[in-house]
């Protein structure tokens, strides 16, 4: 399903590959109709080649984020898989998740209706944002609940209560974002473990949110 009541539905494409491959992925995606994307630097937390979640063997990663309508997104992932062979160990992983609103696309402005129906996904994306230095604790807590690891991306906070002053200059604290791909039946236990260990319910300790993974390539 690529449209709802004549309105195109857009998905966010994630592609996680070894360092240096992001530009090649983006270039190939453009040949499929994707207008552009953003490449983020990250690091993986898995070193066992038989483990089957987000992070792969090489520690340095690039996360490519792209927006495309659902039809193009599905076709793009299929062609990227054929080109970069995500079905082989250590070649990467790719998946999509739905968007609620897209503003700034070259082709459209979109707000999706709540009546959209999609198949129940097998995997969910768990995103945890914490202060820098806490990402390893997130991964450890997730592993204790059945996760096999994740991908860590450096970020920066901008909350109104999250600044300190040094020589009268406001300093925004650095953050870490941990992305974990988990099966539906283990998502809740992973979230509970992270929340308990990091005390996420206390103000300023972090945030966790989940998204459905609609198409997944690179899981063995």
Model pLDDT for residues 140-193, shown as the tens digit of each residue = 999 999 998 889 998 765 554 555 554 555 545 688 899 999 999 999 999 999
Same fold, 3-119 and 123-212: yes
Selecting from 3.20.20.70, 3.40.718.10, 3.60.21.10, 3.30.70.120, what CATH number does the domain 3-119 have? 3.30.70.120
Q: With 90 as the cut, is the pLDDT of residue 134 above it? A: yes
User: Whole-model pTM?
Assistant: 0.76
> Cβ neighbours of residue 109 under 8 Å, at least 6 residues apart?
102, 103
Q: Any idea where the domains of the chain sit in the sequence?
A: 3-119, 123-212
Measure the CA–CA gap between 31 and 96, rounded to whole angstroms.
18
**Checking DSSP bridges between strand 174-183 and strand 169-171, what pairing results, if any?**
unpaired
Burial 50-60 (b: 16+ CB within 10 A, else e): ebbbbbbebee
Are 4 and 99 a contacting pair, CB within 8 Å? Answer: no
Q: Assign 141 to helix, strand or coil.
A: helix
Q: What is the pLDDT of residues 45-93, one digit of tens each?
A: 764 544 444 444 447 889 999 999 999 999 999 999 999 999 888 789 9
CATH fold of 123-212 reads Alpha-Beta Plaits (3.30.70)
């Amino acid at each position: 399903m690529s449209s709802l009541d004549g309105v195109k539905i857009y998905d966010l494409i994630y592609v996680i590959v070894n360092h240096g491959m992001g530009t090649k992925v983006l270039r190939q995606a453009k040949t499929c109709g994707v207008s552009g994307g953003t490449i983020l630097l990250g690091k993986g937390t898995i070193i066992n080649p038989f483990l089957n979640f987000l992070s792969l063997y090489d520690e340095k990663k690039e996360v490519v984020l792209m927006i495309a309508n659902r039809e193009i997104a599905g076709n793009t992932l299929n062609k990227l898989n054929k080109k970069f062979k995500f079905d082989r160990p250590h070649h990467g992983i790719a998946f999509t998740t739905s968007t609620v609103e897209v503003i700034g696309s070259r082709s459209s402005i979109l707000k999706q209706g709540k009546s959209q129906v999609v198949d129940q996904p097998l995997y969910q994306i768990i995103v945890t944002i914490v202060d820098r230095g806490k990402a390893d604790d997130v991964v450890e807590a997730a592993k204790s609940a059945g996760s096999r690891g994740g991908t860590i991306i450096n970020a920066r906070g901008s909350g109104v209560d999250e600044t300190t002053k040094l020589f009268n200059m406001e300093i925004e604290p650095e953050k870490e974002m941990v992305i974990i791909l988990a099966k539906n039946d283990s998502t809740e236990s992973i979230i509970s473990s992270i929340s308990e260990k990091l005390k996420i319910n206390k103000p300023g300790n972090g945030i966790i949110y989940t998204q459905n993974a609609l198409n997944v390539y690179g899981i063995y």
